[in-house]
Amino acid sequence: MSELNVKLITDLTATELAEKIREGELSSVEVVEAHIKRIEEVNGKINALVVPLFDEARAQAKEADRVLAEGGEIGLLHGVPITIKEQFDVAGTETNVGVPNNRGIVAERDGPLVSRLRRAGAIILGKTNVMMTLAGWESDNPVYGRTNNPWDLDRTPGGSSGGESAIISAHGSPMGLGGDFGGSVRLPAHLCGIHGLKPTSHRLTNT
């Protein structure tokens, strides 16, 4: 895939990608590959995506294209790649929130919000970095290291959802799932120049 095609695809919003996949203008495979390529270009500098799930994402993209071609039922995010903050359980991955003593604890199943996103057709590219224990205004921890702001590598993307904001701002992901107790979505979105949405308290679970 050429650099031009990658840029054209990764400049699109999640809404635009979903529409173009539904209409057959882009395949999910093309969209997922473009975002993986972009992540591979930028992640060495910003260290935002810390648990890559590229093989799984590629397989799911092929399946998404098959379902669409056969006229199967699809969701609002069918075939669209997304990223997930490390605090949320994704089956088969660790959820250690940057704490070394939590290493080796692997989620047996997806958390409820991840399950809902999958049911909507989203494809998970991987999990993104956090502030250790989710308590702080940067995204740095002894397990995954420090995430840098893509606009200025000497600066922080904020926290604790800084990995999400950094990878979205760098166009490695069109949207992602974060968590916000006291500004953990709002501050990183502000520092990285993107939009964050914090639903009314208790409408969605942080499990």
Active site residues: 85, 160, 184
Give which of 15, 48, 54 is closest to 188, Cα–Cα.
Answer: 48
CB-CB neighbours of 77 under 10 Å: 23
| Cα–Cα dist 180/161, whole Å | 8
Residues with Cβ within 8 Å of 96's Cβ and at least 6 positions away in sequence, in order, are 86, 102, 103, 105, 143
CB-CB neighbours of 161 under 10 Å: 33
Tokens at 54, concatenated: 């590229």
Query: In angstroms, how far is CA 54 from the centroid of its own chain?
Result: 12
CB burial string 100-137: b at 16+ within 10 A, e below: eeeeeeeeeebbebbeebbeebbbbbbbbbbbbebebb
Pair 146, 160: CB distance under 8 Å: no
